[in-house]
């Protein structure tokens, strides 16, 4: 497996973006629903270079470069439902991506899900004790479609996709005193794993089940 390292670049031009958003929101007695369209147009987008400055069999040395024009466009939605007043609340937000791509190559700026849904059930058991269960669904993730270097043109690009998957977590919070609180929980409760293959869209690992606990003091 070849590792990659990124160098800075003093010759970069400033990245410029024009960001637009239009949204609607409804709120009534604890119920909230909203939807927002967003579009970000970039000039001189700063991206990781694709041509190694230096390479060995074990690693490639790349540097940040200006990637030209790019666009990011999508929809965001949110919904909050109070199931039991001041006790149980259900919150959900979702993002759907229309485009996130370089105008120069047509390739995605980064490998991201087609859509993402986050849903959380919040339980305020007592004034001091609260808990939640959270669920995140990731949509299909597609690889780059166009070669950007002569080597990629020669070898061809992997068509490896990442199929949709979801993870679940649990969290518990307790206020011990006014200035001292404790929390504990489980990330990725059902131990869903995604392993990086460095091919196509498979560029990261999804960590397995993890337990955590902590104490916070404020003053």
Q: Where are the domains of the chain?
A: 25-41+74-217
Per the DSSP assignment, residues forming a β-bridge with 25 are 34
Tokens matching residue 183:
């929390």
Place 196 in a pLDDT band, splitting at 50, 70 and 90. Answer: confident
CA distance 138 to 206: 11
Average pLDDT, the chain: 86
CA 29 to chain centroid: 31
| Predicted pLDDT of residue 91 | 97
Radius of gyration of the chain, Cα coordinates, nearest whole angstrom: 22
- Helix, strand, coil share (%) of the chain residues, nearest 5: 5, 60, 40
Give 71-110 pLDDT, tens digit per residue: 999 999 999 999 998 899 999 999 999 988 888 777 777 7
CA distance 24 to 18: 21
Give 142-191 pLDDT, tens digit per residue: 777 666 655 555 666 666 778 889 999 999 999 999 899 999 999 999 99
Task: Please list, in sequence order, all residues whose beta carbon lies within 8 angstroms of the beta carbon of residue 138, skipping any fewer than 6 positions away.
Answer: 113, 116, 162, 164, 165, 166
pTM of the predicted model, to two decimals?
0.78
| Predicted pLDDT of residue 151 | 55
**Lowest-confidence region among 21-30, 130-139, 193-202:** 193-202
Per the DSSP assignment, residues forming a β-bridge with 210 are 187
| Predicted pLDDT of residue 27 | 96
Tokens matching residue 3:
């590792």
């Amino acid at each position: 497996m070849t590792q990659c390292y990124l160098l800075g670049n003093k010759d970069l031009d400033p990245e410029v973006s024009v960001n637009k958003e239009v949204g609607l929101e409804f709120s009534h007695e604890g119920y909230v629903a909203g939807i927002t369209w967003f579009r970000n147009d970039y000039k001189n987008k700063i991206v990781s270079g694709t041509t190694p400055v230096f390479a060995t069999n074990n690693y490639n040395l790349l540097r940040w470069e200006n990637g030209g024009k790019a666009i990011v466009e999508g929809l965001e939605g949110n919904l909050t439902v109070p199931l039991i007043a001041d006790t149980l609340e259900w919150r959900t937000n979702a993002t759907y991506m229309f485009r996130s791509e370089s105008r120069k190559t047509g390739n995605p700026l980064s490998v991201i899900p087609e859509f993402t849904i986050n849903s959380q059930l919040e339980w305020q058991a007592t004034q001091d004790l609260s808990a939640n269960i959270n669920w995140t669904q990731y949509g299909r993730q597609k690889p780059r479609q166009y070669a950007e270097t002569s080597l990629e043109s020669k070898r061809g690009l992997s068509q490896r996709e990442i199929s949709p998957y979801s993870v679940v977590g649990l969290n518990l919070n307790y206020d011990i005193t006014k200035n001292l609180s404790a929390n504990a929980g489980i990330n990725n409760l059902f131990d869903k794993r995604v392993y990086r293959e460095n091919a196509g869209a498979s560029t990261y690992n999804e960590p397995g089940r993890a337990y955590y606990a902590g104490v916070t003091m404020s003053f």
